[in-house]
Chains A and B, each alone.
Chain A
Amino acid sequence: MLEKKVCMVGAPGVGKTSLVRRFVESVFSERYHSTIGVKVDKKVVAVDGRELGLVLWDLEGADELTPLSLAYFRGAAGYLLVVDGTRATTLEAARELRDATEAQLGSLPHLVLLNKTDLPDAWAVGDGAILAGAGADVRRTSAKTGSGVEEAFLALGARLLG
């Protein structure tokens, strides 16, 4: 089976781990986040009848206090950039993360997930337009209800095989 390494990044508390939990049944304890800053999970998706194993590296939330370790990005085929739709600052953090990633590794296939659509009243990032440039696929998800989660991972899978 074909496998691809995929990283999940975003500011702390945007719901990366909840999204992964929605998508896969984890084997490793979430304590790994606080110890080495990453937890690896895997989900097999079917893209155009082909099986693709997404090996998800869920990276500890990155902000100005805990900068993203780009060492974990080595060999990644693509990544998911997660934003908390109720906190505008996480949108800016996501943009910085993307700039840092692209400066170091060049352009990689990626999806932007505006998470927490289950809180429409607190929505603060609009359509996430500042992240929409350069052909990025911006989607809305809710780790709580599961809305858009499976579709997002499938879309990334399709991009990696496309």
Chain B
Amino acid sequence: MTETTPTSPPPTTHRGAADEDLALLRRLLVTPEQAEVDALRLRLDDPRIHARDVSGVLAEAIVLRAREDDELQRALQPIFARTLRLAIQEDPALVADALYPVLGPAIRKAVAHALRDLVQSLNRILSRAFSIRAIRWRWEAWRSGRSFAEVVLAHTLLYRVEQVFLIHADTGLVLQHVAAPDVPTEDPSLVAGMLTAIQDFVRDSFGAGERETLDEFEVGELVVWIARGPEAVIAAVIRGTPLPIVRTTLEEQLERVHLTHREALQAFDGDASAFADTGASLEDCLLVEVGDRSPGGGA
């Protein structure tokens, strides 16, 4: 005998439908909020979004905090110090290049101070010297109100800067060239090339470092003074015996060019037109010192 059991719809069917309805209802009710919650969760979980958000207010936050107290500076100070130390350790040239326009004037100031002391002591020594010429020069110094050392220098040192070359350090190509009036000149490109070759030769032959340079050399009555920066070299062809002011001027103009034309120097590919405006700076280096006996002998 078979026993039949009354058939009843499985309870799950009802429950399933109810669940679906509920889910639908939930979706209808909470979908917009759910999307917002998801978006918020994403914001919380994704560090890139955090970074973007912070970057938007970082500068303002720093300004605000710096107005309040010095805590931020105190917190950052050791980090900056470590970063700088690390940067110097890894690439000293990078930091040296960045500081080059700043360090030059500071060093020159210190050297000028030392030189002034030297001139003063020279004055003392010279004031003891006794000769007819010395008496004449002392008279001249008294008359003109200049120091005795200045008068002696004016009588003994005569020079004229005849040509100035601005040369790209890496390629040896000429960037700018100026010459005093009536000075016969060769093609500046050739002279700049040979000057660079001579520098390379000296460095290569004597094992000097990349930044070390031949500062000066003499050719008959001419003396060539050279100053080297990270990207460019300045060379002056001088007739006679130049005063230190010539070197100072060369270095100052070289620093100025580095400051004003750094990007053009780094991107230089043989087109010197970007350096056309450095002519005036170079002309400032065309110094003349005439040692006549008039009080305004120097020009």
Interface residues of A (CB under 8 A from B): 1-5, 27-28, 32, 36-42, 53, 55, 57, 69, 71-72, 74-77
When distances are taken between beta carbons in the complex, the residues of chain B under 8 Å from A75 are 168, 170-173
Binds A, one of B51-59, B141-149, B197-205: B197-205
Measured CA separation A75–B200 after assembly (Å): 12
Q: Does B193 contact A (CB under 8 A)?
A: yes
Q: Given A2-B271, A69-B204, A75-B168, A42 and B190 touching (CB < 8 A)? A: yes
| Chain B: minimal CB distance from A109 (Å) | 13
Interface residues of B in 185-220 (CB under 8 A from A): 186-187, 189-190, 193-194, 197-198, 200-201, 203-204
Measured CA separation A28–B197 after assembly (Å): 13
A36 near B197 (CB under 8 angstroms)?
Answer: yes
> Which residue from chain B places its CB closest to the CB of A35 in the assembled complex?
B201
| Option from B170, B187, B271 in Cβ contact (under 8 Å) with A74 | B170
Q: Does B272 contact A (CB under 8 A)?
A: yes
Measured CA separation A77–B270 after assembly (Å): 9
| Chain B: minimal CB distance from A104 (Å) | 13
Q: Given A27-B187, A40-B194, A42-B189, A5 and B171 touching (CB < 8 A)? A: yes
B170 near A3 (CB under 8 angstroms)?
Answer: no
Q: Given A3-B173, A5-B171, A38 and B201 touching (CB < 8 A)? A: yes
> Which residue from chain A places its CB closest to the CB of B169 in the assembled complex?
A75
B189 near A72 (CB under 8 angstroms)?
Answer: no
The interface centre, meaning the residue of B186, B193, B271 with most chain A CB atoms within 10 A of its CB, is: B193
Q: Which 6 A-B pairs have the closest CB atoms?
A: A75-B171, A40-B193, A75-B170, A36-B201, A71-B204, A71-B200
A53 near B201 (CB under 8 angstroms)?
Answer: no
A5 near B197 (CB under 8 angstroms)?
Answer: no
Q: List 11 A-B contacts (CB under 8 A).
A: A2-B270, A2-B271, A3-B272, A28-B190, A32-B194, A40-B190, A40-B194, A40-B197, A71-B201, A75-B173, A77-B270
> Which residue from chain B places its CB closest to the CB of A28 in the assembled complex?
B194
When distances are taken between beta carbons in the complex, the residues of chain B under 8 Å from A76 are 171
B165-185: contact bitstring with A at CB < 8 Å (1 yes, 0 no)? 000101111100000000000
> Which residue from chain A places its CB closest to the CB of B188 in the assembled complex?
A42
> Which residue from chain B places its CB closest to the CB of A53 in the assembled complex?
B189
A55 near B186 (CB under 8 angstroms)?
Answer: no
Interface residues of B in 126-172 (CB under 8 A from A): 168, 170-172
B190 near A41 (CB under 8 angstroms)?
Answer: yes
A3 near B200 (CB under 8 angstroms)?
Answer: no
When distances are taken between beta carbons in the complex, the residues of chain A under 8 Å from B272 are 1, 3
A27 near B170 (CB under 8 angstroms)?
Answer: no
B190 near A72 (CB under 8 angstroms)?
Answer: no
B266-290: contact bitstring with A at CB < 8 Å (1 yes, 0 no)? 0000111000000000000000000
